[in-house]
Amino acid sequence: MESIQSIKQRFEIIGNDPKLNRAIEKAIQVAPTDISVLVTGESGVGKESLPKIIHSLSHRKHAKYIAVNCGAIPEGTIDSELFGHEKGAFTGATSTRSGYFEVADGGTIFLDEVGELPLTTQVRLLRVLENGEFLKVGSSQVQKTDVRIVAATNIKMFEAIKKEKFREDLYYRLSTVEINIPPLRERQEDIHLLFRKFASDFGQKYKMPTLRLDQDAIELLLKYRWPGNIRQLRNIAEQISVLEEKRSISGFTLNGYLPSTSSTNLPAVVGGDKKEGDFSTEREILYKVLFDMKGDLNDLKKLTLELLKNNDTEKVQEENENLIRKIYGSDGEEIPEEESRSLAVLQLPEVHEEPVVHHPVQEDKYHFAEEIQEEETLSLQEKEIELIKKSLERNKGKRKAAASELGISERTLYRKIKQYDL
């Protein structure tokens, strides 16, 4: 069995972090077997190195090694890419094509970004993992393949399973052994080491002296969170190598190449589930307010109908005061002056007794009474609309002035304008 140090030199892996060493050690141990491996870690940490190590140390090292980026293949063609298709299976299939699982028979397939696979493709992949069988697109003939699968993903798999975007049974088949690569921010001692390696490589590539960082630049390099991990560090080393004439880089110069740290240096909550109460509590409060408003409007309608039916002004006034106190608080709580004025707009008109002329009707008397009540109720709304329109006209559309004239709050006036579409 090869040592960790020799594997690092062979695959150009830089760093001495214990977590990184443990990941490489697990890859070396699992390589001689045929079990499936799932490599996890953030984007840009170098997950593609471990499948190469596993393949090169396995008994399949002389067979094919195929790396497939599942996130880069369109959903409509990924089944054809992985499993092949028959001639005429779909529009554009002018000939029979072999998929990766057929071509890599006896070798290793690396499925990068496996979490992006469509659910239908996940079912096909599960069958391959269980018994080595697959069907070409458009074919009914079962084919066999002997392929070792190493997968990688940067998403939280349990969250994807919870959201039903990834099959739980497939996850457990893929992750017989799971290897996690730590993010760069957790490998403090390796950051400067990696930067020096990249600076040296780009100095040779572009035929210019190698960059050197002063102490301030080194400290800034170590404090930065590196959300893009090794890929981002390499990119910045290349930018500075090409754009800076001075080969000694200060902290001020380096800071100009780093994206804003106002958000990236804040602590990140990784894998934390959002509490349902964070949103549902506000939603429940809003629903309660709306239901209370609905109840108050129903009480107001009943009060109006009672007035129209019985003409008992004193009783209605008493119920009106009770309703107001119900809306604004207990008996001891005073009604806000601003809202008290707003009630004046909604005051019920006085009802004068008029002689009632009885006409013979064929319809039910109760149905007729309901129509009268509906007409009277609508007339109240019309009067309110008329008052608001006149006030807005007099104040040339200025809502604040109109609200002051009507004796209501500007918010109440805005709600009325929106309600009546004025």
The C-alpha angle 101, 102, 108, rounded to 5 degrees, equals 45
Sign of CA dihedral 40, 44, 49, 52: positive
Beta-bridged to residue 39, according to DSSP, are 152, 179
Amino acid at 265: N
The domain ranges of the chain are 4-182, 185-264, 276-335, 336-352+362-422
What does the DSSP 8-state code read for residue 63?
Answer: S
Say what the pLDDT of residue 320 is. 64
Determine the Cα–Cα distance for residues 92 and 224; give it in Å rounded to an integer.
Answer: 49
pLDDT in tens, 125-182: 999 999 999 999 999 999 999 999 999 999 999 999 999 999 999 999 999 999 999 9
pLDDT in tens, 94-134: 899 999 999 999 999 999 999 999 999 999 999 999 999 99
87-96, 163-172, 293-302: range with highest mean pLDDT: 163-172
Per the CB < 8 A criterion, the answer to whether 110 and 51 are in contact is yes
Say what the pLDDT of residue 404 is. 82
Per the CB < 8 A criterion, the answer to whether 66 and 103 are in contact is yes
Amino acid at 384: E
Sign of CA dihedral 360, 366, 367, 369: positive
- Look-up: residue for tokens 């760069």? 184
Determine the Cα–Cα distance for residues 320 and 133; give it in Å rounded to an integer.
Answer: 78
37-51, 163-177, 309-323 — which is least confidently predicted?
Answer: 309-323
Per the CB < 8 A criterion, the answer to whether 250 and 214 are in contact is yes
List the structure tokens of 255: 């800071």
Amino acid at 303: L
Fold of 4-182: Rossmann fold (3.40.50)
- Look-up: residue for tokens 């990688």? 152
C-alpha dist (Å) from residue 245 to 192, 208, 248, 255, 303: 21, 10, 9, 16, 84
| Greater model confidence, 101 or 322 | 101
Residue 220: count of CB within 10 angstroms of its CB: 19
Determine the Cα–Cα distance for residues 18 and 16; give it in Å rounded to an integer.
Answer: 6
What does the DSSP 8-state code read for residue 370?
Answer: H
pLDDT in tens, 216-259: 999 999 999 999 999 999 999 999 999 999 999 999 999 999 98
Say what the pLDDT of residue 272 is. 44
| Top-level class of domain 185-264 | mainly alpha
> What is the rounded radius of gyration, in angstroms, for the C-alpha atoms of the chain?
37
107-116, 125-134, 310-319, 351-360 — which is least confidently predicted?
Answer: 351-360
